Amino acid sequence: MSNATTPPLTDRPGAIFAAFLRLGLTAFGGPIAHLDYFRREFVERRGWVSAQVYGDLVALCQFLPGPASSQVGIGLGLMRGGVSGALAAWLGFTLPSALAMTLFALLLTHVAGLTHGAWLHGLKLVAVAVVAQALWGMGRSLCPDRTRASLAVAAAVLAALVPGVSGQLAVIALGAVVGRWLLHAPLEAVHPPLPLALRHRHAWGLLAAFVALLLGLPILAAWAQWPWLTLLADFYRAGALVFGGGHVVLPLLQAQVVPGGMDNATFLAGYGAVQAVPGPLFTFAAFLGAVSAQGPGGWLGATVALLAIFLPSFLLVLGALPLWHALRGRPALRSALMGINAAVVGLLLAAFYDPVWTAAIHTPRDFALALAALLLLQFWKTPPWAVVIGGAVIAGMLGAS
């Protein structure tokens, strides 16, 4: 039996794709800005969902690991056009930046000397400012008290001392345990279930598939020894375990592809470049898949990495949405989420030090340029794409290295 009245599916996938493609070409500014774009476009302008339904959808996607803005887009497409609508929404929002990042990766790998230019160092300096801005904003909203601030610092220390996937998992587990027992989630208003056509049994099947792939892909990749399957397993794990969105995926991806697949300079150049394109930050995976020596590389590597990092989001959103009405009423889960969110700030803090800061800031001039970029982003509200381009041009002119 369905968990709610089945809504009319009023839009064909082509119409949903076109609506999201418009945002995929124009939605600069990162996840927080994307959520505002979605609200204005699909709540206020088109009236696809009510403000209350949109708020519930955003709350769920903040609860799940993965890119929150992309997950909200998938959910909107699902409510408007079923599973095909969810696919159309994701493709429209993701395709422009994924193509741009793949082309940038191919340019770096095919033009001699491009990876060592001073302009590339400028991208790394802008990455310092971007991560610092994200850290500041997340810290203010997710660590507003002493307990959560202390948890964030402890998580940063743990992530720095135990790098890689094991450290990530330990930090998330620490956040969940501390949140469950030391934090108290505020009471929430009771809302009606979200309007969906999916049934509970389908939802549980999708969540089971999410867990099966998370556990099974690494085993299958180790047994088969196929480069594309290893790439699929690595990026699926990154999309499945990252809480906090695009900026927090940095340390997990860095641990997986550096130094075996590429050098830190190329990694951070791609991370800086993804700030200059619209759409989701997780399209950084297309860049990494295209340049990584650990997989097939090129267009095939970009496609495999991109699909792998977003696949967990599809399984989680389609699986969790029908169950969200029951889950959100459990205070223990919401308290654990508060702790996980604070721990995510610690992950970002550890990533800010290494590799972002250590790979970019070598001289007082580097520090000055990064600080100027932060000033433009945080206080002058300069569009990120303009800061990225400006940082590359200025560093190139100054001959920074």
- Angle at 91 (CA atoms; ends 86, 95), nearest 5 degrees: 160
Residue 102 pLDDT exceeds 90: yes
Position 8 in a domain: no
Write down the mean pLDDT value for the chain: 85
Judge contact between 176 and 340, C-beta under 8 A: yes
pLDDT at residue 203, rounded to an integer: 87
pLDDT digit string, tens, across residues 266-317: 888 888 888 888 999 899 999 999 998 877 889 999 999 999 999 999 999 9
pLDDT class of 242 with cuts at 50, 70, 90: confident
Domain range for 171 is 13-398
Read off the pLDDT of each residue in 335-363 and give the average, rounded to a whole number.
86
Q: Which of 148, 67, 135, 143 is nearest to 378 (CA)?
A: 135
Position 2 in a domain: no
pLDDT at residue 370, rounded to an integer: 93
Give the least confident one: 90-99, 119-128, 314-323. 119-128
Give 162 or 246, the one with higher predicted confidence. 162
Q: Which long-range contacts (CB under 8 A, 24 or more apart) does 300-303 make?
A: 300/228, 301/228, 301/231, 302/98, 302/101, 302/102, 302/105
pLDDT at residue 197, rounded to an integer: 61
Position 343 in a domain: yes
Position 79 in a domain: yes
Position 207 in a domain: yes
pLDDT digit string, tens, across residues 51-89: 878 887 887 887 788 898 999 999 999 989 889 999 999
Judge contact between 268 and 355, C-beta under 8 A: yes
What is the number of domains present in the chain?
1
Tokens in use for 394? Answer: 């200025």
Residue 114 pLDDT exceeds 70: no
Integer distance in angstroms from the first to the last C-alpha of the chain? 62
pLDDT at residue 306, rounded to an integer: 96
pLDDT at residue 5, rounded to an integer: 41
pLDDT at residue 7, rounded to an integer: 47
CA distance 367 to 361: 6
The residue behind tokens 């892909």 is 217
Position 30 in a domain: yes
Q: What is the three-class DSSP state of 275?
A: coil
CA 146 to chain centre: 27
Q: How many CB atoms lie within 10 A of CB 168?
A: 25
CA distance 10 to 193: 20
pLDDT digit string, tens, across residues 21-36: 999 998 887 787 788 8
Tokens in use for 219? Answer: 């085993």
Position 146 in a domain: yes
CA distance 63 to 208: 18
Judge contact between 279 and 33, C-beta under 8 A: no
pTM value surpassing 0.75: yes
pLDDT at residue 2, rounded to an integer: 41
Report the range out of 82-96, 218-232, 378-392 with the highest average pLDDT: 82-96
CA distance 258 to 393: 26
Residue 367: exposure state from Cβ atoms within 10 A (0-12, 13-18, ≥19): middle
